[in-house]
Structure 1
Amino acid sequence: MLALSIAWRQCRSLWSSGEIRVLLFALILAVTATTSVSFFTDRIKSSMQTQGNVLLGADLVVNSDHAIPAAYKAEAQQRQYQTSQALEFSSMVLKGDSSELAEIKAVEAGFPLRGHLTISKRAATAKGELTSAEIPASGTVWIEPRLAQKLALKIGDEVSVGESQFKIAAFLLQEPSRGGDMFSIAPRLLMNGADVEATGLVQFGSRVKYQLLVAANSEGTEVNQAMEDYAEWLKPQLARGERVDDIRSARPEMRNALNKAQQFLGIASMVGVILAMVAMLLASIPYVQKSLDAYALMRCFGATKKLITQILLYQTLLLALVGSVIGCVLGFAAQYGLAILAGRLFLETLPAPGWMPVLLGLVTGFSTLLTVVWPQLMRLRAVPALRILRQDLEGNVHTNGIVFLPALLVLAGLVFWHAGDIKLAGIVFAALVALVVVAGFLAYAGMRLVQSFSVQNFGVIKLGLMGLRRRPILTIAQVVGLSMGLMAILLLAFVRNDLLKNWQTSLPADAPNRFVINIQADQIPGINALLTSHAIQHADIFPMVRARLISVNGKPLNVEQYKDDRAKRLAEREFNLSWAAQMQADNELVAGQWWKAEDAGKPQLSLEQGLAETLNLKLGDKLTYDVAGTQLDLTITSLRKVEWNSMHVNFFAVTPPKVLDNYAANYLTSFHLPAGKEEALNQLVRKFPNLTIINVSAVMEQLQSLLSKMSYAIEFVFGFSLLAGLAVLYAALMATREERVRESTLMRVLGASRKQVVLAMLVEFLCIGILASIVANIFTNVAAYYLATLVLDMEYQFNAWLSMQALLAAIVLVPFSAWLVARNQFNQPPRALLQSV
């Protein structure tokens, strides 16, 4: 216990004298930055997942073409999950002599499990809308406004569905679960599940989609884990025609958005870890230098290396415990303030934080202090007792870089933990390692270059350059540390800009929100003319031929050969073949050649890249389709990457013109219908009654709302990480204050003016800032390129203005921060400075 007692007394003494405050402050700040970002990103992730699940109406949905086994619901209830069931089918809705096809959805109490139904009991518009926590009462139905328009229905009217009569009780304005079935052809009619039997519509052989909706009672990351556990239990039980959907599998555009947002938040968390390690490294170097005399004195009194090692170990653990606990508390307080502000922007309360960020903060504090500071402290064991008499003696206290290998391994582990993706973490970590090597080499080369020449006429500049030469190890550490910190913040800024730009362009305000299908060839001129007369910007009208894939390279298609459920569904579904002379603007050729004008009529095929990968198809494969009983052979000559997020009409399979001329085709198009121009649709339907118009505006609004909230999350996390980075930079510069004080004292005693001392220091840190900024810019752009192309699946664009801003910021902030730390010392006379040293 002697070592522990000495360690405790020494910590108190060092705190009183101020010698340990910089290190402890850096540790607290590092843990605060890490935990606050982790707390906030954890809550944001949970909020985004919850918001995404609103589009499904649940956390997980089991879909089936037959009655769902009771065991699925029983298992969910045994796990204490919320459940609700629904079924969907198409049927005619009659009002007098008029009829209209509708998609009937029968639900039971509790539907939906996520989100709310929005209805109006006055008019078929948003006016007078209200949120309902109930479902239609037995004997009543809720209908979408477009069904009311087609049949001229109003509240209180009765309609016939099968063998039963139902009273219209409300207009259904928004149904959360419709997000999982975006392109529903017919308008919705929502009814109570208890009334289905009375309609007589669900019989043996009827085409009905059965749904089991499941939601966890927990919040945050526990929801994901709960649903993953339940899904793992379900998979072996699933029979043919059954599948499990969550927000990622049901909505590809939401999957992309959520994945990219969570990848960014992972990068933001990594920034906190990197800054933590940088602060510990820079703060530990001067702390060790200031402790040399104390341990030399202990050696004079007979302390053994073993005792000194124990004292150092206990002292490190005490510092880690105090700093980590305080950092976790401050991190929670900091994120809580941000969460309140973010909650107002999100228009709902963020989920409660979990305990994982606390564990992460403790692991970060202890691991960084032990691996980064401990090797430095171990140098003190070799301090000779003779140093008490001769200050130039340090013994064998200089170590090679191998002692920092544990710190590098810990940094790698924390980066991988935060990233949650091997590829993402690998790119960032590889860039960091390369940066450390290159920055260290350039700093060393720069100092050797300074030694090779002298500045004759600029004394202040010469003094500043000599400062770099006097402290080679510290200079290299500062350049490497500042480069890592700048790279972390710059990388976050680059990815943030690209991600926000990607979201803005992928789902613009004028994205198509109406799809028109069943267009006949002779109706195309009239439709174009009508839309043009109403000043509606519309996309091209595309042909479509229904076909089913029956063989690949002459071998009959075997659906069972695919292990993935999605691959099985894609293989056995009907495809919409189309033709085009030119590739669409939102398509990108990734393999093969697009056809030329002379290739018209040749049996060539261009496939969407994702479909080809899912079905294991490649260039040169010969596909045989069944088109209305006739076989059609096509050879894959190109693969395309399709931007499905654009909401424009796109196809998995496209042929050259004239290939499908002998097959019956209909046409479809999409366009953006501005608010207040609904009369144009009424005219379109009256003039061309065979058309089917699909309204996706409600889902578009949900998607845009979710992307907007994600953007707020990105801005908040980036801003907070930027502030944390600046604070850590300030802490790192504070660690060198005492040495700067001694130098300025000596320079003032030898006759240097206050202005000369300040300018010399600014020159020194200006050089450090410029070098660190150049290195950080180079490696940030390299890492950003690979992150964009290999991880985030976005187009990389070099941001020259952001790189220039980083360089200018380093030129201004690094010298200014150094002056801010030492400014009080510059205002004191040399005598006062000598007495304080």
Structure 2
Amino acid sequence: MSTSKLKSKLNIPWLFKMAWRDAKASRVRLLLFMASIILGIAAVVSIQLFSQNLTENIQKQSKSLMGADYTIDSDQLPTERAQAIIDSLKPDASEVNFVSMIAFPKNDGTKLVRVRGLIGDFPFYGIIETQPVSAAANYQKSGGALVDATLMLQYKMNPGDSIKIGELTIPIAGALQAIPGNTAISTSVAPLVIIPYRYIDETELLQFGSRKEYQFFYKQPEVDLEALEKRLEPMLEAEDADLDTHTSTSRRLGRRYENVGSFLNLTAFIALLLGCVGIASSVNIYIKEKIKAIAVLKCMGASRKQSFLIFLIQIAGIGIVGGVIGTAIGVGLQELFPLLLKEFLPFDLTINISVQPLIMGVILGLVMSVLFALLPLLRTWYVSPLEVLRVSASTSAGSKKARIVAIAVIILFLYGFTFWLLKDWLFALAFIGGVLVTFGVLAGIAILSMKAVKNYFPKGARFTTRQSLLNLFRPNNQTLVLLVAIGLGTFLISTLYFTKDILLDKTELGQSSESANLITLDVQPAQIDEVVKTFEANNLPVIDNIPLVTMRIHSIKNVLVNALRADSTAQIRGWILNHEFRTTYRDELMASEEIMEGEWVATQNKNDLVQISISDNLAQDANVGIGDSIVFNVQGVLMQTVVKSIRKVDWANLQLNFSIVFPKGVLEDAPQFNVLTTYAATEKASAGLQRDLVSKFPNVSIIDLRQVYTVVEDILDKVSWIINFMAFFSILTGIIVLIGSVRTSKYQRIKESVLLRTLGAKNKQILSITALEYLFLGVLGSLVGILLALISSFLLAIFVFKEAFVPSLIPFFIFIPGISLLVLGIGLSNIREVLKSSPLEVLRKTA
């Protein structure tokens, strides 16, 4: 093509032809660029599809999730006014539910369960799944119980066997598999047992202090739920009741899973960022190798724009193809998420493929590829024809300005995309800032390492050792990008492991003979002596005997609660005004408490105003401080108090903690019940005590904290598995970036190795030089990543979890040697050709 034609116009067909010809010649390297982006796109698309399906399923199944159009519930028997509102709406079904111990007479087993006494044809939407199927329809008429299916398997129970709930013995009608509004997690600690409402009184379990909830279900699809909620919510709140509609429940459920979706989206986005870093690095080396070819084109008359567009078309093509392949993989991957998250979902997830995430995947592949290749591509714009003869290291002022603009565009795009994922500008800013800081730290360590080796490495070291480390700052070296890719991937995985350990450590608090692992609830004053004797008969000590007194707040700082509810400007959280507090009295602090402000009062003087201690979260939510007055309604008796101290309470400690503590000498005569705790060293000892207590005191409930620990650990294991599964994308993308980065410099390394062989170096020396260099990169990159993870996890432990940090050894034993060996293997694979062939033969092949 003539020079005049090249200059006259862009000649789009010629640009595409040149881009295609050059891409065919460099297809291996370009395929590695593409691999860098495919996994990131796959992760983003799979998560987007899953999140969209989750939202749609929640909206479609909102009625089935609740089982009704709306419900009204109350923690106690509804007040007269609340009951009038409930009756005026004509409920179609109702229930009372409470936590209680049940006994299995067949095998002397006992278990803490949640009992639901139902009346009416609940659920109105969705079904009760039972085995046999007929049990769901017949249990009300036959007078049987539906018992959690897993619980029946655990205790080897069958339909027809009996269970004992309080003073009631009732046959099992069937195994309960699912009911609207119930989740696997909620039944892990207290499995569900459903009985007809008419048998509730026979259990004799609804006594003073019992924790119970009354619910009323409505099937009224024609009602305007938004208007109903707006009209009734204030009136019901004033009567300590609550209205829930299926739409508001689905909104809450959606928000709960949005947080999980945001985290998974960010993990996928990090995988995509790693791929883009690989593209930027690989294109940088690729363009360096093409400088002379570009200069030749310009000598022939090609314009800046034409030479720039040839390589831009190549990268855009890579981005589109990578986006298509990544999107296809993402469609397949998102099918896994319902399996991974089924324990956390209260419904069956139906998967549908929508167009939006698919289009987004392809566009994202194109945009991210072009954006991150933009900086190295700008070099083609400023290549001078003179560089056919020599390569200039100088950078023009125009090039510097263009690079600043390109960097600004990349950061703005990343911020915009993160904001779209998180829907919060501050979180998005913090995330982008954190990514930039992490990249900066890793890049800084890489640069410092290169300078340290260059300036301080012993000159007297062996030739192979010296040559291998000096290669870290040779022309076309990959030290910077390799350390960033290896370090960031290792950092992510290690942080996830360390964080999981912090959470698991929190569940292990108190698991020693010095603290309780069995908590006995609802012990009436008249039963205390006999319960203590039962403890002693089982050779178990009474560690704590804690009295509980229920009360509500009547006024805060001389303003009545009803007035505070009506005051929209009051800086008091709503739960404070409606909550029934379970308080206690004692003369000393617990191990999980410490005084933040004021002075602890152990015993109340008769002539003083009652001086109480409150938790810091209560002080904040109630907007009260030292010296402020709070009046409590204690079972109909008003008691005026003053805040004397504010405590910091470790609520994560699975022991009994209280928001409000009275001194001794005040509440001893108030209506109350007790909680007794003990420590059972073995499961056999725990089962023996539970069996004896349930047989003697049916109203008493026992919580075995070891079962709670097991459930929490199981949940955390599932969560960490999901997190690690997503983080796997990041580390796998990092490995592909690593492969691409190392393979990109293959030809430069081959020429260096051939030159060494020509000068007389033996295969063993070349092998040693390469091995030491890549081993250093692998060890340093993974070590830096783990050290950064240690720092970040330590900060999380101190400032977020408020917990001591004992790091796991898994990253040290797995990632450092694993990543190092991987880097070593890839590096050595580059020089196989040099070791097997003569120098002349290799040069002919690579010419």
Smaller-chain TM-score bracket: 0.7 to 0.9
Q: 1:479 aligns with which of 478, 483, 494?
A: 483
* Alignment partner, residue 380 of structure 2: 380
TM-score (norm. length: structure 1): 0.74
- The aligned runs of 1:292-441 (5 Å cut-off) are 292-334=291-333, 336=335, 351-352=350-351, 355=354, 357-359=357-359, 361-390=361-390, 399=400, 402=404, 403-418=406-421, 428-441=431-444
How big is each residue's C-alpha offset from its partner over 1:727-765, in whole Å with a ceiling of 9 and x where there is no partner? Answer: 332233222222212222222222222222222223333
Structure 1 unmatched ranges of 5 or more? 74-83, 92-100, 119-128, 156-167, 193-206, 216-228
291-300 or 428-437: which moved more? 428-437
* Alignment partner, residue 651 of structure 2: 643
Is it true that 1:105 corresponds to 2:115 in the alignment?
no
Aligned partner of residue 279 in structure 1, secondary structure? helix
1: distance between equivalents of 2:502 and 2:138? 45
Deviation at 1:570, TM superposition (A): 3.4
* Alignment partner, residue 10 of structure 1: 18
2: distance between equivalents of 1:588 and 1:452? 54
Is it true that 1:754 corresponds to 2:763 in the alignment?
yes
* Alignment partner, residue 3 of structure 2: none
Deviation at 1:376, TM superposition (A): 1.2
2: distance between equivalents of 1:56 and 1:512? 34
TM-score (norm. length: structure 2): 0.73
* Alignment partner, residue 162 of structure 1: none
Q: 1:560 to 1:341 in 2, by over 3 A?
A: closer
2: distance between equivalents of 1:722 and 1:214? 52
Q: 1:88 to 1:395 in 2, by over 3 A?
A: closer
* Alignment partner, residue 150 of structure 2: none
Q: 1:240 aligns with which of 235, 239, 258?
A: 235
Kept after mapping to 1: 8 A contact 2:497/2:808:
no
1: distance between equivalents of 2:329 and 2:188? 44
* Alignment partner, residue 210 of structure 2: none
* Alignment partner, residue 614 of structure 1: 621
Is it true that 1:491 corresponds to 2:479 in the alignment?
no
* Alignment partner, residue 570 of structure 1: 576
How big is each residue's C-alpha offset from its partner over 1:672-722, in whole Å with a ceiling of 9 and x where there is no partner? Answer: 996998786575356457x4547899x979988765643542353344544
Kept after mapping to 2: 8 A contact 1:66/1:208:
no
Q: 2:736 aligns with which of 697, 710, 727?
A: 727
Q: How many residues align?
A: 758
- The aligned runs of 1:261-272 (5 Å cut-off) are 265-266=264-265, 268-272=267-271
Q: 1:768 to 1:183 in 2, by over 3 A?
A: closer
Is it true that 1:210 corresponds to 2:216 in the alignment?
yes
Kept after mapping to 2: 8 A contact 1:29/1:327:
no
Q: 1:496 to 1:739 in 2, by over 3 A?
A: farther
Q: 1:721 to 1:395 in 2, by over 3 A?
A: closer
Deviation at 1:270, TM superposition (A): 4.0
* Alignment partner, residue 39 of structure 1: 46
Aligned partner of residue 240 in structure 1, secondary structure? helix
Kept after mapping to 1: 8 A contact 2:520/2:703:
yes
Aligned partner of residue 595 in structure 1, secondary structure? coil
* Alignment partner, residue 443 of structure 1: 446
Is it true that 1:279 corresponds to 2:278 in the alignment?
yes
How big is each residue's C-alpha offset from its partner over 1:532-582, in whole Å with a ceiling of 9 and x where there is no partner? Answer: 534778863320122221222333332233689994343134322202344
1: distance between equivalents of 2:760 and 2:227? 77
2: distance between equivalents of 1:246 and 1:501? 37
Q: 1:208 to 1:783 in 2, by over 3 A?
A: closer
Q: 1:212 to 1:290 in 2, by over 3 A?
A: farther
Is it true that 1:795 corresponds to 2:808 in the alignment?
no
Kept after mapping to 2: 8 A contact 1:274/1:411:
no
Kept after mapping to 2: 8 A contact 1:607/1:652:
yes
Aligned partner of residue 742 in structure 1, secondary structure? helix
- The aligned runs of 1:664-683 (5 Å cut-off) are 664-669=671-676, 683=692
Q: Which amino acid aligns with 2:463?
A: G
- The aligned runs of 1:732-743 (5 Å cut-off) are 732-743=741-752
440-449 or 755-764: which moved more? 440-449
* Alignment partner, residue 465 of structure 1: 469
How big is each residue's C-alpha offset from its partner over 1:146-184, in whole Å with a ceiling of 9 and x where there is no partner? Answer: 9855555455xxxxxxxxxxxx96687986647789999
2: distance between equivalents of 1:824 and 1:785? 46
2: distance between equivalents of 1:293 and 1:385? 8
2: distance between equivalents of 1:320 and 1:606? 62
Deviation at 1:597, TM superposition (A): 5.6
Q: 2:837 aligns with which of 822, 828, 832?
A: 828
Q: 1:231 to 1:540 in 2, by over 3 A?
A: farther
Is it true that 1:533 corresponds to 2:537 in the alignment?
yes
Q: Which amino acid aligns with 1:613?
A: Q
1: distance between equivalents of 2:723 and 2:62? 20
* Alignment partner, residue 204 of structure 1: none
Aligned partner of residue 524 in structure 1, secondary structure? helix
2: distance between equivalents of 1:512 and 1:685? 17
Q: 1:26 aligns with which of 23, 26, 33?
A: 33
Kept after mapping to 2: 8 A contact 1:105/1:190:
yes
Kept after mapping to 1: 8 A contact 2:271/2:730:
yes
Q: Which amino acid aligns with 1:13?
A: R
Q: 1:824 to 1:184 in 2, by over 3 A?
A: closer
2: distance between equivalents of 1:439 and 1:398? 25
Kept after mapping to 1: 8 A contact 2:506/2:653:
no
- The aligned runs of 1:549-564 (5 Å cut-off) are 549-557=553-561, 558-561=564-567
Kept after mapping to 2: 8 A contact 1:86/1:105:
yes
* Alignment partner, residue 823 of structure 2: 814
How big is each residue's C-alpha offset from its partner over 1:33-52, in whole Å with a ceiling of 9 and x where there is no partner? Answer: 442365269649978998x9
How big is each residue's C-alpha offset from its partner over 1:200-236, in whole Å with a ceiling of 9 and x where there is no partner? Answer: xxxxxxx963235899xxxxxxxxxxxxx99899568
Deviation at 1:362, TM superposition (A): 3.0
Kept after mapping to 2: 8 A contact 1:111/1:135:
no
- The aligned runs of 1:52-67 (5 Å cut-off) are 57=66, 62-64=71-73, 65=82
Aligned partner of residue 433 in structure 1, secondary structure? helix
